[in-house]
Amino acid sequence: MTIRSRAWYRSNTYAHGEFRPERLLAARERSVSVCLPARNEARTIGPILEQLLPLRERGVVDQIVVVDHSNDGTDEIARALGAEVHDQEQLMPELGPVLGKGDAMWRALSVLTGEVICFLDADSERFGAHFACGVLGPVLCRPGIAFVKGFYRRPFRVGHTTVPDGGGRVTELTARPLLNLFFPDLAAIQQPLAGEIAARRDLLERLPFTTGYGVDIGLLIDAYSLAGLDAIAQVDLDVRQNAHQPLRDLGPMAFAVLQAVAVRLEREGRLRGPLPLTFSATGADASHIAVAEPVERPPLASLRAAA
């Protein structure tokens, strides 16, 4: 961790309790949209929306959107509770099928109306409204902050046993080491892969979106490159629980993170290509080679300028 990143940690790290709804309501001068990209989250989407929708009723946020691609009734639950629901495949359909979480987030900008955008994961268990208020807080209450990440403890459950900090395996084994090595100013970011973010629209529209799992670390690095370290903040959201992926599924996820970082290093002239485009599975599927070409959607602002 650099001297600069230590100083940043002291000045730009907050606790979610600093940003209660009434403070946001009093401080905000910009419209706010909250977006939940969802895929088969019928078990969790209802409890999450029951926490978020009162924020809209109180005027803390203006728009709550579920961008859905499910076959388990997630969309029906969300719509019945009063959320605005859009089918991912119907957003900018001329681009073809949605290529992953990052692509869904990028397309969602076409229906999100807020000047501040908050993205939240739709698979969180024991979700509280503080997840939204926490990451929105620095953008709404502190001048100069344009991009915010959430962080939390990640308990890992195996049967009836819980390991308090056993979750976040791709984060600890891939994402954070990469940032320490290549982007040391970002070494104090506790959860670079967190899906809980808030940002000013005018910044998000100037960033490319990696279409798959690498979107979160890609947005972080690009926000740093474009807006600078002082424009970034992080907020402690306490604990996040969700269903964990089996180990065999983590390899492709880690590979996507590596690719997203490598693309940015290549762009900066610090890595010479060509980049590997395949990932070989292990175990019984060792003969299977998946093509994993990193695809990015361009900054929306560049599309408007070209129109």
Q: Is residue 261 part of a domain?
A: no
3-state secondary structure 102-127: HHHHHHHCCCCCCCEEEECCCCCECC
* CATH code at position 81: 3.90.550.10
What are the pLDDT digits (tens) for 12-48?
999 999 999 999 999 999 999 999 999 999 999 999 9
* pTM given for the model: 0.93
Domain residues for 184? 3-244
The three-state secondary structure class of 235 is: strand
Q: Is residue 192 part of a domain?
A: yes
pLDDT for position 291? 54
Q: Is residue 151 part of a domain?
A: yes
Which residues make Cβ contacts (< 8 Å) with residue 93, sequence separation at least 6?
A: none
Q: Is residue 263 part of a domain?
A: no
Quickly state the pLDDT bin for 58 (edges 50, 70, 90): very high
Q: What is the number of domains present in the chain?
A: 1
Q: Is residue 18 part of a domain?
A: yes
Q: How far apart are CA 208 and CA 204, in angstroms?
A: 8
Q: Is residue 108 part of a domain?
A: yes
Comparing 157 with 124, which gets the higher pLDDT? 124
**Residue indicated by tokens 């040391």:** 184
Q: Is residue 276 part of a domain?
A: no
What are the pLDDT digits (tens) for 91-111?
999 999 999 999 999 999 999
Q: Is residue 187 part of a domain?
A: yes
pLDDT for position 101? 94
pLDDT for position 284? 53
CA distances from 18 to 13, 131, 267 (A): 11, 12, 38
Q: How far apart are CA 225 and CA 11, in angstroms?
A: 19
What are the pLDDT digits (tens) for 169-225?
899 999 999 999 999 999 999 999 999 999 999 999 999 999 989 999 999 999 999
Task: Evaluate if residue 160 carries a pLDDT over 70.
Answer: no
**131-166 b/e (C-beta count within 10 Å ≥ 16 → b):** bbbbbbbbbbbeeebbbbbbbbbbbeeeeeeeeeeb
